[in-house]
Amino acid sequence: MAIERTFSMIKPDATKRNITGKIISKFEDAGLRIVAQKRVHWNKEQAGEFYAVHKERPFYGELVDFMISGPIVMQVLEGEDAVAANRKIMGATNPEDADAGTIRKEFAESLEANSVHGSDSPENAALEIAMCFDESEIVG
Ligand code: ADP
Ligand code: MG
């Protein structure tokens, strides 16, 4: 296993409920380190660009509106097999399908408002990190 970096976001449903610390603890308790972090409030263009991969999906418009409904916390997580480890800590997309102890099982409100985003492959992790952070903002 290799030390890897992945991109993570805490979504507006979670910043609204003031539970960012509880979510961040899940990453740290599992051994991932936060090597970059910032809180931002996206505009429609930024959210639309980030989720452009889902442009053809029926939920795209609502997802973009949800992602600009409040601030988000973006972070770069580092650790062994970080991409897969983060997806495991997050749990399934639909909280109803998520395993016990995962972030989405414990905190998500719905399929859309599911508290966290995480890159789904090392390739997408590199793209998402580059899209949202300058190299100088990442401090390992
Ligand atoms: P994941 O975030 O687990 O990688 P996807 O990449 O498939 O899941 O979807 C991106 C995000 O779009 C999800 O996290 C969720 O917020 C939203 N989403 C996915 N499927 C639906 C759906 N059927 N209806 C509404 N929102 C959805
Ligand atoms: Mg995804």
Q: For position 1, what pLDDT does the model report?
A: 73
Q: Confirm whether 117 is a catalytic residue.
A: yes
β-strand 72-80 against 116-118: which pairing, if any?
A: unpaired
The residue to mutate among 112, 116, 124, having the most atoms of ligand 1 within 8 angstroms of its beta carbon, is: 112
Say if ligand 1 is within 6 A of residue 111 CB.
Answer: yes
Condensed to tens digits (0 to 9), the pLDDT of residues 81-115 reads 999 999 999 999 999 999 999 999 999 999 999 99
Say if ligand 1 is within 6 A of residue 124 CB.
Answer: no
Tell me the CA–centroid distance for residue 111 and ligand 1, in Å. 7
Q: Name the packing angle between helices 122-132 and 82-90 (round to 10°).
A: 90
Q: Of 64, 76, 71, whose CA–CA distance to 12 is shortest? A: 71
Condensed to tens digits (0 to 9), the pLDDT of residues 35-45 reads 999 999 999 99
